[in-house]
Structure 1
Amino acid sequence: MNEMKGFQKPWFIAGGWVVDIALGRVARQHDDIDICIYREDVKEALRYFEGWDIKVAVPGENRLVDYVQLNDLSLPRYCLHLFREKDFIEVLLTERKENDVLFRKNKEITMSITDFALKDCDGRPYVNPVWQLLYKSSNPRDKDNDDFISCLPIMTDQQKKWLAKGLRIMKPESEWIQRLSS
């Protein structure tokens, strides 16, 4: 991810690409690239992307507003849309507390930073696929179900347990829970 090479804070590839990275192959087409950073590093990201057109996604309203000041990113807002000519990057702001990353939709769900922040064989940082799948589970589209099915055979027992536990909290009726225990 060339756009992030000079960024000096932790960052991770997120979204559907994490499934492909974990699989070691491109399993499906992707519309964009999502990057995850810790919320505490947002000022550094804003400086880093100076010169880009920065928009803030408004949760639940399906709209973007111009970024003007840091308060524009107050919770519950968590997503920046960055535009420069033909380039587009979505930046997801993630909270952490000490050595744990907090799941945005329910802060009782956590994952240790060492389990959350993975690297592929080329050293590219990416979010643990099960973290991403838990987000995708809330209202799964066909591509989200495909991502789950693709990931299932490569999940460790620890990843399956973590995802099943998160699903029982977030979406207890999820069909994925039974598949995780099979």
Structure 2
Amino acid sequence: MSEQLPSGGIELSPGEIEALHTRWSSCWTPHEVARRMAGIGTPWYVAAGWALDLFRGGQARAHGDIEIAVPAASFPAVRRRFPEYVFDAAGSGHIWEDAPPEALAAVHQTWLRDPATGNYLLDVFREPHDGDTWICRRDEAIRLPYRDIVHHTRDGVPYLAPELALLFKAKHLRGKDQADFEATVPHMAPPQRETLAGLLTRVHPGHPWIAEL
């Protein structure tokens, strides 16, 4: 993604960013998203904290929003799935309403908005990829086939492998990220823990989670 932000975005003050949380109060559940995405011809998965809940088989905490990820080139197909809604591009303290192409090139998050209420329902990450190979935004040398990183619940909801979901959470180490780590690691198999430790060593050398794995 380009570091230079395009024109036309709305710059948000810290107070306005905080106020956005109320606009996510009616966001969907993973199962609702899966219902609406059923049959789409592109890999996709639930990401972030919800992905870890799906891996563990139960919700451990409240979630302020829901994120899914898709290959960036497949976003037009996702956009066509929701003709009654609007996608806003978001990033770096800005929002670009109705996601123009230049904003899509600059940031990776797109928020699905209900124009009738102004509420946000879904956050879609547009991820770098090479065909069917997923590329990690934190380190482009980390490349894995989608078939290896997308897991499924028993009823078919796709979610990101826990070792990768925790890798993304490791950067900021907010309270909820630490809570997710502590709740998830006991459920991970030894190879998954080893993979996470290796990824953390590569992307975040010296991270405190490494010693706990």
Query: Deviation digits for residues 124-178 of structure 1, max 9, x if unmatched?
Result: 1111121111111011111101111111111122221221111112211211001
Q: Hey, what's the Cα distance between the residues in 1 that align with 2:191 and 2:129?
A: 21
Q: Hey, what's the Cα distance between the residues in 1 that align with 2:88 and 2:99?
A: 9
User: Aligned pairs, how many?
Assistant: 177
Query: Deviation digits for residues 63-115 of structure 1, max 9, x if unmatched?
Result: 211235333211x5211011113451000111222553111121012333222
The residue that corresponds to 1:63 in the other structure is 94
The residue that corresponds to 1:31 in the other structure is 64
Matches within 5 A, 1:39-54: 39-54=72-87
Q: Which runs of 5+ in 2 are unaligned?
A: 1-31
The residue that corresponds to 1:126 in the other structure is 159
Q: 1:78 aligns with which of 90, 95, 108?
A: 108
Q: Hey, what's the Cα distance between the residues in 2 that align with 1:53 and 1:98?
A: 27
Q: Hey, what's the Cα distance between the residues in 1 that align with 2:112 and 2:36?
A: 11
Equivalent residue letter for 1:121: R
Q: Does structure 1 retain, via aligned residues, the 8 Å contact 2:149–2:160?
A: yes
Say whether residues 1:166 and 2:199 are aligned partners: yes
Q: Hey, what's the Cα distance between the residues in 1 that align with 2:186 and 2:62?
A: 20
Q: CA deviation at 1:8?
A: 3.6
Match of 1:121, SS state, is: coil
Equivalent residue letter for 2:54: I
Q: CA deviation at 1:30?
A: 0.8
Greater CA drift, 135-144 or 161-170: 161-170
Q: Hey, what's the Cα distance between the residues in 2 that align with 1:173 and 1:109?
A: 19
Q: Does structure 1 retain, via aligned residues, the 8 Å contact 2:99–2:110?
A: no
Greater CA drift, 94-103 or 28-37: 94-103
Match of 1:101, SS state, is: strand
Q: Hey, what's the Cα distance between the residues in 2 that align with 1:35 and 1:55?
A: 15
Q: CA deviation at 1:31?
A: 1.1
Q: Radius of gyration: which is bigger?
A: 2
Equivalent residue letter for 1:19: L
Equivalent residue letter for 2:67: D
Higher strand share: 1
Q: Hey, what's the Cα distance between the residues in 2 that align with 1:9 and 1:161?
A: 29
Q: CA deviation at 1:6?
A: 5.3
Identity of aligned residues (%): 27
Q: Which runs of 5+ in 1 are unaligned?
A: none
Q: Hey, what's the Cα distance between the residues in 1 that align with 2:189 and 2:163?
A: 10
| Distance change >3 Å, CA 81–CA 87, structure 1 → 2 | closer
Equivalent residue letter for 1:73: L
TM-score by length of 2: 0.76
TM-score by length of 1: 0.88
Q: CA deviation at 1:35?
A: 1.1
